[in-house]
């Protein structure tokens, strides 16, 4: 079974704080993704990574950065948290098997910025 772990289920931060959200996998998957999910807006892709030290912008990268120093860990960084970044953050990775592109999600981190 694919296992994706996110560092926190719930997080409360203050405006202006630097926030780190961590995503860890226990297998050798290359592709990892960060989404945010908001009511009425659905899932929106923030950043993704194909391998160590590689990153690609998604649809809404503004206000975020990412880090992938090791294959198993993909971090999302909010440089200076703002209230409009209050959201559910979901990490995902793809199955490495062949032509499929099935994505599997972590449990999510519900972030509140006050």
CB of 49 to another protein, least distance (A): 9
For the beta carbon of residue 35, count every other beta carbon within 10 angstroms. 24
Return the H-helix or E-strand segment holding 46: strand 42-49
Residue number, 14 or 42, with CB nearest to another protein:
42
Shortest CB 16 distance to another protein, Å: 28
Question: Shortest Cβ distance from residue 11 to another protein (Å)?
Answer: 15
Positions that interact with another protein (CB under 8 A): 33, 40-43, 45, 48, 50, 56-59, 90, 99-108
Nearest to 27 by CA among 46, 11, 4, 7: 4
Contact between residue 6 and residue 109 where contact means Cβ atoms under 8 Å apart: yes
Query: Which residue, 90 or 111, is less far from another protein as judged by CB?
Result: 90
Q: Which is nearer to another protein, 10 or 14 (CB)?
A: 10
| Token pair 């990574």 in the structure block, residue | 49
């Amino acid at each position: 079974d694919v296992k994706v772990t996110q560092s926190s289920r719930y997080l409360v931060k203050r405006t202006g704080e630097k926030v780190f959200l961590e995503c860890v996998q226990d297998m050798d998957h290359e592709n990892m993704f960060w989404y945010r999910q908001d009511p009425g807006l659905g899932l929106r892709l923030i950043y993704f990574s194909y391998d160590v030290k590689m990153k690609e912008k998604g649809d809404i990268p503004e206000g975020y950065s990412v880090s992938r120093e090791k294959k198993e860990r993909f971090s999302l960084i909010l440089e200076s948290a703002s209230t409009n970044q209050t959201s559910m953050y979901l990490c995902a990775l793809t199955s490495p098997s062949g032509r499929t592109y099935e994505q599997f999600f972590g449990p999510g981190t519900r972030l509140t910025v006050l």
